[in-house]
Amino acid sequence: MALKLEKLRNFFSTSQIDSASNISDLQAEVGFKLTYFEQTKQLVVKVIGARHLPSIYGTQKPEGYLIKVRVYPGREKCETDIVKQSWPTFNQELTFDLQSNANTLKDQFLGKFVTLTVYAVLESPNKNGTNVRRSNSLRNSFRFLIGKEENVDVRKSSKSRQCASRFTFDNRRTIGAVTYNLDPKKFTQKKYLTHSTPDIWRVIQNISSGIDFEKKESSCNLEVTVTYFNSEDGNNDRMEIALSKLRCSMMSMHEQEKLGGSIYLKITTFEYGVRIASWKSDKFQPTISMKIEPSTATLQAIFKNYNLRNIQMTIRLISKNVLGKKTIIGKIDLDNGSDIFREAIDSPSNPITKSLELGSQR
């Protein structure tokens, strides 16, 4: 009897593991259909839908999903409406002009491809139709922050053209993208001067946020300015450090969100290991790009010239959750061995600015 119960227990345990494994193996996909009109030289991208999209980011649940479409090498970008389900159905047609002197479909499509980037939207538009931006609340609350905003022209036509204004990165999280080369052989459904593909479904691939400085999947960079002022008597030398821009990869921002707290920056200056000055920013939410007003994000430290080699300046990016637990996300140490520090000393009164990586401390 005991043996039978053990076999039954193992059966259900194995079934549950297999079921969980199958769920985790499901890959996010996006569906679309392409139609080219020879007479107007327009490409219509019909975004059908997506499936198996992530339903949670850190402690936040997306309020919806949207897809941005772009036809390269063109610069025009169009976006779908926001759909709330994690298996969203869009069925939206986005129209792009492919003006050229090409005489054949092959020449028209040469070197062109379509990208569909899938986003999770953490904040939906308000009733007035404008987007509720986290950066707006930061601008109103904190003097040292300048929110980042991106604008894209809204284009209209009688042929179902829908190009929505873009949200800031604060509101959206990149799930991934699909790239599809325009190949005449794939446009198998043909009518008079019209060429279409069948419905296409592709697995969504991970991408970076597109910021040029990124070389690692998980990283944050901080734009830092250091200025050294020497005094006449050598007893009141001054070192000034200012911050102007924070940039993080998408992966790093997602990791910050998982900590479940607000973020802030802190600068501390030490002399012989003893703190002599410090500065702390207001709290803000995880982001991939944030401008900082240098005049309000500056720390000055005064010391004697003969102690210059014993001065150390530390910049930390810190997360603090609702329980008060602090986690150091990244850290920059500046001292006599740092390039920016030595350059500032060699050029008194001349500000030296560099983009420095916040080394991971976790």
- Least trusted range by pLDDT, from 77-91, 113-127, 206-220, 259-273: 206-220
Q: Is residue 153 part of a domain?
A: yes
| pLDDT (0 to 100) of residue 167 | 43
What span, in angstroms and rounded, lies between the C-alpha atoms of 164 and 80? Answer: 7
The DSSP-derived string for 71-135 is EET---EEEPPPB-SSS-EEEEEEEEE-----SSHHHHHTT-EEEEEEEEESS-B-TTS-B--HH
Comparison of pLDDT for 194 and 7, the residue scoring more: 194
Best CA proximity match to 242, nearest among 265, 224, 266, 220: 224
Position 360 pLDDT exceeds 90 = no
pLDDT in tens, 72-94: 888 889 999 999 888 999 999 99
The verdict on 190 and 52 lying in the same domain is yes
Q: Cis bond leading into 348, ω under 30°?
A: no
> Which tens digits make up the pLDDT trace of 296-316?
899 999 999 999 999 999 999
C-beta of residue 254 within 8 angstroms of C-beta of residue 261: no
Torsion angle (degrees, nearest 10) of CA 280, 286, 289, 295: -20
The total number of structural domains that make up the chain: 2
**Is 10 inside a domain boundary?**
no
Higher-confidence residue of 203 and 286: namely: 203
Dmax over CA atoms of the chain, in Å, equals 94
| Domain assignment of residue 6, yes or no | no
Q: The CATH number of the domain where 110 resides is what?
A: 2.60.40.150
Question: Quick check: 211 pLDDT over 70?
Answer: no
φ, ψ for residue 150 (rounded to 5)? -120, 135
pTM: 0.52
Do 263 and 324 have their domain in common? yes
Q: In this predicted structure, what is the pLDDT of residue 170?
A: 54
Domain that holds residue 232: 220-360
Return the pLDDT at 296.
84
Give the mean pLDDT of 193-217.
71
pLDDT band at residue 207, thresholds of 50, 70 and 90? Answer: low
Q: What is d(CA 123, CA 275) in angstroms, rounded to the nearest whole number? A: 41
pLDDT of residue 165: 40
Residues 176 and 242 in one domain: no
Output the average pLDDT for the chain: 79
Q: Does 305 reside within a domain?
A: yes
SS3 percent helix, strand, coil of the chain, rounded to 5, is: 20, 45, 40
Both 239 and 339 in one domain: the answer is: yes
Q: Do 137 and 170 have their domain in common?
A: yes
- Whether 59 shows a pLDDT value over 70: the answer reads no
